[in-house]
Amino acid sequence: MKSTPAEAAIRYATAMNTRPVNLLDHDEAGLRAFFASIGEQPFRAQQILKWVYHQGVMDFAAMTNLGVDLRRRLQELAVIEPPRVLREQVSLDGTTKWLMGLCDGGFGGGNAVETVFIPEPNRGTLCISSQVGCALNCSFCSTGAQGFSRNLTTGEIIGQVWQAARALGHERNGARRITNVVLMGMGEPLLNFDAVVPALSLLRDDLGYGLAAKRVTLSTAGLVPGIDRLRDTIDVALAVSLHAPDDALRETLVPLNRKYPIRELMRACADYVSDKHKRSVTFEYTLIDGVNDHPEQARALVKLLRRMPSKLNLIPFNPFPGTRYRCSPEARIREFQAIVMAGGLIATVRRTRGEDIDAACGQLVGQVLDRTRRSRMVRETGLTTIAGTLADGASR
């Protein structure tokens, strides 16, 4: 049976007892280092980037400006391997969701994550995942309920964009073009910092997807040291999942709040926007019936955010099987929005998209190979307080 170039490279590398390099795991700096390490000119990095991200080409044989010898070497030493699309679902409103199989378990049998494209009149937003599952166990999120399996590699993160762009026809100007990318899918991106940053850099780089800083958004549940590190590392937009104006309530929704309470989170956000390139933070607030949607809580939110250059996204809670929470009634949502706006905040209600295909916030589940690893992740990341609060988080 004839094998694919990727399989041949893997066989070669196994025989040599090394792993082939997945070129999607590297941003420009990483690729330059790779080419230098094999005795090639670093500018080869630019040629590869253009083939992969501008032309959508993955096959070394088609990269005609690389020369026959270099193409042959690359076929032996490297692969270009994105996740595989296992399933595509298109909603009546045009929202598209893909289940992406990861290469552990030989694609399909192993881990998988979800990626969602949300078309709007003037933009197309791609929502990508950064981990398989999530360790944070926010009580209103179905990804949290499924546990944590592992971090994605850079190639698996940027490969979601590559696959989505291909499925959408690699159109650079059409209506379905990807204009914005948000790390709001499965996982906590700041707990996978080292793989996420090169993916952000490929999204920003002109040789990659060339997106402006304000069009690449990282969303975090509030990992304070990660926010500080991100500020010093790369220019992207920051979104913070707040969901409550006080610590007592926030702890029941986002257990991470026990380790990084609101005061410290606000300090990190203020420092983030003090950088001249980063003008504002988006706060996400999922409205849950009778939990965090009271007018009193809206007024407390105004007090908390009044002085912060910020926007507020109000997200009606999306139910999922097994949850005890319900979405706030429409009148409550309107009242909440009216109060925060009267208080001077800029607040938008995010309408649910892709409802018929379970593509909304907090509904992404994918497939998790190993559901038992959350506690290990919690130990490794030093988030010991979370482990102790898993039960309370779920019992409220």
Could you say whether residue 383 binds ligand SAH (CB under 6 A)? no
| Least spacing, CB of residue 361 vs ligand SAH, in Å | 3
Nearer to ligand SAH, 46 or 352 (CB): 352
The region of 39-47, 82-90, 312-320, 376-384 touching ligand SAH under the rule CB under 6 A is: 312-320
Nearer to ligand SAH, 66 or 221 (CB): 221
Nearer to ligand SAH, 78 or 186 (CB): 186
Q: Which amino acid is at 186?
A: M
Q: What DSSP line would sit under 290-333, residue for residue? A: TTT--HHHHHHHHHHHTTS-EEEEEEE----TT----BPPHHHH
Could you say whether residue 317 binds ligand SAH (CB under 6 A)? yes
Could you say whether residue 188 binds ligand SAH (CB under 6 A)? yes
Could you say whether residue 221 binds ligand SAH (CB under 6 A)? yes
The kind and range of the H/E element at 149 are strand 148-151
Q: Which residue in the block uniquely carries the two structure tokens 């032996």?
A: 76
The region of 151-159, 204-212, 219-227, 257-265 touching ligand SAH under the rule CB under 6 A is: 219-227
Catalytic entry in 81, 114, 188, 251: 114
| Least spacing, CB of residue 320 vs ligand SAH, in Å | 6
Could you say whether residue 293 binds ligand SAH (CB under 6 A)? no
Could you say whether residue 160 binds ligand SAH (CB under 6 A)? no
Supply 284's token pair. Answer: 């996400």
Based on the residue annotation, tell me whether 361 is a catalytic residue of this protein: yes
In the chain, helix, strand, coil percent, each to 5?
40, 20, 40
Is 374 in contact with 135 (CB distance < 8 Å)? Answer: yes
For ligand SAH, which residue of 91, 286, 292, 367 counts as binding (CB under 6 A)? 286
Q: Which amino acid is at 262?
A: I
Q: Which residue in the block uniquely carries the two structure tokens 């020369």?
A: 67
Based on the residue annotation, tell me whether 138 is a catalytic residue of this protein: no
Report how far residue 332's alpha carbon sits from residue 295's, in angstroms, rounded to the nearest whole number: 8
Could you say whether residue 284 binds ligand SAH (CB under 6 A)? yes
The region of 27-35, 58-66, 195-203, 214-222 touching ligand SAH under the rule CB under 6 A is: 214-222
Q: Which stretches within the chain are classed as H helix?
A: 5-15, 28-37, 44-49, 68-77, 142-145, 154-167, 193-204, 224-231, 247-253, 262-274, 295-305, 330-342, 374-380, 384-395
Could you say whether residue 358 binds ligand SAH (CB under 6 A)? no
Residues that bind ligand SAH (CB under 6 A): 140-141, 184, 188, 219-221, 241, 284, 286, 315, 317-318, 361-362
